[in-house]
Structure 1
Amino acid sequence: MKRSLLLLLTIVCHSLYAQTVIPIQIIPGGHILVKASINGVEGNFVFDTGGGLHVVTKKFADKLRNFPKQDGGFTGFRATGERIDADLYTADLLTLDGFTVKSPTVAVIDANFGPIDGLISLMSFQQTPFTIDYEQKRLIIETDKSLAARKKAAKAIIPLQLERNRDKSLDIFAYFTLENKLTLQFLLDSGAGNNVFRFNAKNIPALGIDVNDTTKVKRIAHKSEIDTSFKSSIYHTKVGSLAAKAAPMVKAEGINASFVEGLIYDGIVSINWLGKLLTIDLAKSEMLIVY
């Protein structure tokens, strides 16, 4: 009897802590690639905390059945200010290796992303905390118990600010200190790749950067991969330091920065540099970090 009770308790405890573990790839540019299926059709997707809403290419959408178009659409803006108009569709199921979402809204964009079929956004994780494990290359869906353990082990906690747009898109932001001079709110964007630091060019004067010093600053014109007629000016230079306002020990130094004209945010940063384990709890608007 005692042995049976012990076995039962072991099973119950395991189920409380057992997380759904989804394998990911970190491709050369640093993007997080995950296998996912929509209505049973599998594809390669970027897991994108800065993507706003789920997106598939038209080529992938053409493979889907039971994928009705919604009457309304969605107009959004890329960080550079480029306008994107997308048709919206309703899928039956979105599945990531054991994690399933019913009736997600998906935008369809007529663009060529090569072997990438689209992106998975934060929209399906509003009540589902998850961890990005960069070392073990895993996306982990947390339980209440495992989340409590993550919080206990966290070396830093960063408050998040959530931007919801018409309950159709969702992005996350946090405050950072740049060069110990400016406190700015940046979009946290796993879809940016590795070690990407893009700042609004309007902050150049406050940082004392001379854009005419070609030995330190390189100016380029960047062409959009979606609307190739859309270009933005970018200034590349070195920046000494960037630190999380709420956790100054989380920092990057000697970074290669890009200052973008017309950026609609204070800035955009990738998230790989924050730590090796990042737990995002949207319901509590916080990120737990192990570095």
Structure 2
Amino acid sequence: MSLKIKHTLTLLILFIGFSASSQVSSVPFTLMESGHIIIKAKVDGVEGKFIFDTGAGLNLFFDKFAKRLKAQQTNNYFTAHRATGESLTVPLYHSESLAIGTLNFSNQLYTTYNIDAGDIDGLISLQPFQNTPVTIDFESKIISFNNKPEVGKSKFIDIQIADYAGKSLDIFTNVKLNDQVTIQVLLDSGAGKSSFWFNSRLMDMLKLDKNSFEVLKKKDEFDATKTRLFYTGKINTLRTENNSASIDNPKSIFVENLIYEGKTGIDWLGKKITISLPDKKIFLID
């Protein structure tokens, strides 16, 4: 074989490989009234319905679904914390494959939990998409992958990635409350629509009158001997740090002992957004 032919074949193989890795894939999703994004996926060939949850940390499958899988349990465990601080230590498993549309992710970490959520089989986190941009089109109800806007030609916000030793992954961004206080918030699509939680310690910084807020005392779901306060009311504005996205008068909940400075959904960022972990940005397309 001539060197020229070898060179041509090498270029062809590289091109094919590049095309496969950058292929744009799309799947429809169901948008629940609650604002939760429901997608279909196959885990080790078993199809289920899952909430696409940017705040889940790692993939979680409910026991009823997990029992249908050929679980490959590791010797590892992970202690997760809810936003209100309750801890939960869970076993870790590996799936051979996670298929979403035409994409297939191998050797994916997941955990299980015993809960009955109707026809919902679990949560799909951002962990599989560490090298794959994810575009969410809320109007067309389509999620597409590997379809990233060009940096510098679209509005965007910077995100910070919290990677817990490869076992769990969350994303955060900086926002301004009432144009006074800048805080870091967890971006949590699993929170549903119009979800704005902030640490109650911020109320004094913002000079908010607690008497003007509705106050609810709730028992801890894990320890009934403990209670926490939730203050519900409105703030004037919430803006991203670079002013690319904002919302006026959002109904907000200030939570006692929230483990974050804040936690919000992602619907307020725009009708169409791309989460790109490789770029550490969320592009605001529409």
Band of TM-score, shorter chain: 0.7 to 0.9
Kept after mapping to 2: 8 A contact 1:19/1:140: yes
Structure 1 counterpart of 2:131 = 127
What residue ranges of structure 1 are gaps of 5+ in the alignment? 1-11
Alignment of 1:86-235 (within 5 A): 86-142=90-146, 146-149=147-150, 151=151, 154=154, 156-211=155-210, 213=211, 216-222=212-218, 227=222, 229=224, 231-235=227-231
Structure 2 counterpart of 1:273 = 268
CA distance in 2, matches of 1:138, 1:223: 38
CA distance in 2, matches of 1:272, 1:278: 9
Is residue 78 of structure 1 aligned with residue 82 of structure 2?
A: yes
CA distance in 2, matches of 1:195, 1:71: 39
Structure 2 counterpart of 1:25 = 30
SS at match of 1:59: helix
Kept after mapping to 2: 8 A contact 1:153/1:290: no
CA distance in 2, matches of 1:101, 1:265: 30
Report the CA distance between 1:170 and its aligned residue.
0.5
Is residue 47 of structure 1 aligned with residue 52 of structure 2?
A: yes
Return closer, same or farther for 1:48/1:278 CA change in 2, 3 Å cut-off.
Answer: same
Is residue 57 of structure 1 aligned with residue 62 of structure 2?
A: yes
Identity %: 34
CA distance in 1, matches of 2:285, 2:101: 25
SS at match of 1:287: strand
Structure 1: which amino acid aligns with 2:79?
T
Is residue 244 of structure 1 aligned with residue 248 of structure 2?
A: no
Report the CA distance between 1:204 and its aligned residue.
0.8
Return closer, same or farther for 1:29/1:231 CA change in 2, 3 Å cut-off.
Answer: farther
Structure 2 counterpart of 1:282 = 277
SS at match of 2:64: helix
Structure 2 counterpart of 1:4 = none
Return closer, same or farther for 1:249/1:166 CA change in 2, 3 Å cut-off.
Answer: closer
After superposition, the C-alpha distances for 1:85-143 in whole angstroms (9 at most, x for unaligned) are 1111111111112111101011111223232211000110001111011111011002x
CA distance in 2, matches of 1:208, 1:196: 22
**TM-score for the superposition, normalised by structure 1:** 0.87
Structure 2: which amino acid aligns with 1:102?
S
Kept after mapping to 1: 8 A contact 2:135/2:148: no
Report the CA distance between 1:232 and its aligned residue.
3.3
Structure 2: which amino acid aligns with 1:30?
G
Report the CA distance between 1:69 and its aligned residue.
1.2
CA distance in 2, matches of 1:166, 1:173: 17
Return closer, same or farther for 1:103/1:224 CA change in 2, 3 Å cut-off.
Answer: farther
CA distance in 1, matches of 2:251, 2:51: 23
Structure 2 counterpart of 1:9 = none
SS at match of 1:91: strand
SS at match of 1:33: strand
Report the CA distance between 1:231 and its aligned residue.
4.8
